[in-house]
């Protein structure tokens, strides 16, 4: 994610001070163990900063999303089919879903009972599920999705209706605004989408189209498939009138660009720059992890962009090269390599910010060193120095320090270990954790192992101390 507004950080800081909502209640404790040894899955996945996000007791392998959306009424009719495996003997389990009406749920085709409390949807299957057993949950639901507005200094996110469709950006926990899921990046899964919209409207989701759109009865159904594991916040079904350009990058990766008619003049630049950036990052970060690349510019003034997997989305502005470089770097850092805890967000944003500097250097503009030096000159009173980026705060997750000081951390590392080791490290990092999960500790371990240096003091000063490193 990256803001496109200079004043946004200040505004967000102000809002977070003014908003000052009471802290979330802790999730209810799981039910006591029953006599037969089957217990309820936890209502949170175990991220202490976001205790209600995600759920315990199972791991999702695949989501099949069927969505029918009417822009005129803003009504969504959905069926979500979840293939999961139990990680404990499971008497009941939770899904995350915000608003919307649940019409019915089956588990392995048998009707299940369910209750709702806040954003927690508790499902009790007719038969408990054995540990390690696979099971399939099917949730039929409908309603008018309401985007999230309440957390992490982000403004509005999730499923956001627009005049001609919807703009869907769900970081960090907004996918529950449009489909029931395990809404935390610690549980990644593959996705299939079947999205039905009025004829003339285009539906853009992650991955690739599987076949031509089918129109019948005034409606068109688009089928998309993301075959690589994806965090649920990266799932999108962005809907509207779009001009499209499709082809391949010079390096041969399928490339899909879509722009709202208001941004039609951006289409060729979006397509060309996205292709060039994707190919270049492949030489710097290692092979591109997914089956296609591209981007979407929609006419919704989000003021930010989000790295939706294979389909970064730019909210209401023509993206420049720098922000395209940022969002496509996230395809490696954030999307392929995914954090298990939000506190490690610098592994996404620090890397994507440093990628902007590398792109500038690549293009013969300011070097990363020069950009680093400009920031380092900031006075000791600059707010960046009092916010340690290695520990992103849940009420100020996307603080500018996580981006800028996170990027500076990588530059300090580069200077300490030398260019050769640094760039080998980036490739080893992406290769070693491709499609998996990462932690700051595992990055520090790899950096020390590859450089043969004790980097503890460097990372401590840059990531964890509330003051400007020397």
In whole angstroms, the minimum distance from the beta carbon of 327 to Zn ion comes to 7
Can you tell me the distance from the alpha carbon of 177 to that of 189, in angstroms, rounded to the nearest whole number? 18
Q: Output 241 or 311, the one with its CB closest to Zn ion.
A: 311
- Which residues lie closer than 8 Å to 210 by C-beta, 6 or more apart? 192, 223, 224, 225
352 binds Zn ion (CB under 5 A): yes
How many residues make contact with Zn ion (CB under 5 A)? 4
312 binds Zn ion (CB under 5 A): no
In whole angstroms, the minimum distance from the beta carbon of 326 to Zn ion comes to 6
In whole angstroms, the minimum distance from the beta carbon of 281 to Zn ion comes to 14
Window of 2-10, 72-80, 293-301, 409-417 that interacts with Zn ion by CB under 5 A = 2-10
Q: Output 335 or 349, the one with its CB closest to Zn ion.
A: 349
Window of 273-281, 288-296, 347-355, 388-396 that interacts with Zn ion by CB under 5 A = 347-355
In whole angstroms, the minimum distance from the beta carbon of 441 to Zn ion comes to 22
Among positions 75-134, residues that touch Zn ion (CB under 5 A) are none
Q: Output 89 or 308, the one with its CB closest to Zn ion.
A: 308
Q: Output 98 or 308, the one with its CB closest to Zn ion.
A: 308
In whole angstroms, the minimum distance from the beta carbon of 1 to Zn ion comes to 4
Q: Output 60 or 277, the one with its CB closest to Zn ion.
A: 277
In whole angstroms, the minimum distance from the beta carbon of 3 to Zn ion comes to 9
Q: Output 209 or 324, the one with its CB closest to Zn ion.
A: 324
For residue 204, the cross-strand partners are 238
Q: Output 76 or 352, the one with its CB closest to Zn ion.
A: 352
In whole angstroms, the minimum distance from the beta carbon of 171 to Zn ion comes to 9
Could you give the C-alpha distances from 270 to 250, 355, 402, in angstroms and in order?
A: 14, 18, 26
In whole angstroms, the minimum distance from the beta carbon of 173 to Zn ion comes to 16
347 binds Zn ion (CB under 5 A): no
2 binds Zn ion (CB under 5 A): yes
345 binds Zn ion (CB under 5 A): no
Q: Output 226 or 327, the one with its CB closest to Zn ion.
A: 327
Window of 149-157, 203-211, 235-243, 350-358 that interacts with Zn ion by CB under 5 A = 350-358
Window of 149-157, 341-349, 404-412, 440-448 that interacts with Zn ion by CB under 5 A = 341-349
1 binds Zn ion (CB under 5 A): yes
Window of 13-21, 122-130, 154-162, 346-354 that interacts with Zn ion by CB under 5 A = 346-354
Tokens of 15: 């809002």
In whole angstroms, the minimum distance from the beta carbon of 357 to Zn ion comes to 14
How many degrees, rounded to 5, is the angle at CA 46 between CA 42 and CA 48? 130
Rounded to 5 degrees, what are φ and ψ at 13? -60, -40
In whole angstroms, the minimum distance from the beta carbon of 329 to Zn ion comes to 8
Q: Output 94 or 399, the one with its CB closest to Zn ion.
A: 399
Q: Output 189 or 352, the one with its CB closest to Zn ion.
A: 352
Write out the residues near Zn ion by the rule CB under 5 A: 1-2, 349, 352
């Amino acid at each position: 994610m990256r803001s496109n507004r200079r004043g946004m950080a200040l505004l967000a800081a102000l809002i977070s001070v003014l908003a000052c909502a009471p802290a979330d209640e802790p999730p209810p404790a799981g039910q006591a163990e029953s006599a037969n040894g089957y217990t309820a899955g936890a209502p949170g996945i175990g991220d202490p900063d976001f205790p209600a996000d995600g759920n315990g007791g199972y791991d999702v392998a695949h989501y099949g999303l069927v969505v029918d959306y009417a822009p005129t009424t803003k009504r969504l009719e959905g069926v979500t089919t979840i293939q999961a495996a139990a990680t404990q003997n499971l008497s009941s389990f939770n899904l995350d879903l915000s608003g919307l009406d649940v019409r019915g749920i089956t588990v392995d085709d048998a009707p299940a009972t369910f209750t709702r409390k806040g954003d927690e949807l508790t499902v009790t299957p007719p038969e408990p599920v054995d540990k390690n057993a696979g099971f399939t949950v099917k949730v039929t639901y409908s309603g008018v999705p309401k985007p999230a507005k309440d957390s992490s200094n982000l403004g509005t996110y999730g499923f956001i209706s627009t005049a001609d469709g919807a703009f869907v950006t769900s970081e960090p926990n907004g996918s529950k605004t449009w489909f029931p899921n395990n809404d935390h990046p610690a549980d990644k899964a593959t996705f299939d989408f079947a999205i039905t919209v009025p004829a003339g409207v285009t539906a853009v989701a992650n991955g690739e189209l599987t076949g031509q759109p089918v129109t019948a009865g005034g409606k068109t159904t688009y089928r998309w498939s993301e075959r690589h594991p994806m965090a649920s916040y990266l799932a999108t079904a962005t809907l509207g009138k779009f001009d499209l350009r499709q082809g391949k990058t010079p390096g041969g990766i399928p490339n899909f660009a879509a722009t709202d008619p208001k941004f039609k003049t951006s289409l060729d630049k979006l397509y060309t720059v996205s292709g060039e950036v994707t190919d270049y990052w492949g030489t710097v970060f290692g092979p591109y992890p997914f089956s296609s690349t591209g981007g979407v510019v929609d006419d919704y003034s989000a003021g930010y962009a989000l790295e939706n997997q294979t389909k970064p989305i730019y909210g209401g502005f023509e993206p420049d090269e720098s922000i395209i470089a940022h969002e496509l770097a996230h395809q490696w850092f954030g999307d392929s390599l995914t954090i298990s805890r939000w506190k490690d967000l610098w592994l996404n944003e620090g890397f994507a910010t440093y990628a902007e500097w590398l792109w500038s250097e690549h293009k013969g503009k300011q070097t990363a060193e020069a950009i680093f030096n400009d920031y380092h000159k900031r006075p000791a009173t600059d707010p960046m120095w009092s916010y340690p980026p290695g520990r992103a705060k849940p009420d100020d997750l996307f603080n500018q320090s996580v981006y800028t000081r996170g990027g500076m951390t990588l530059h300090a590392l580069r200077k300490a270990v030398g260019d050769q080791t640094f760039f080998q490290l980036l490739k080893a990092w992406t290769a070693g954790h491709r499609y998996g999960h990462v932690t700051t500790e595992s990055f520090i371990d790899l950096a020390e192992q590859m450089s043969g240096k004790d980097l503890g003091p460097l990372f401590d000063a840059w990531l964890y101390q509330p003051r400007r490193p020397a």
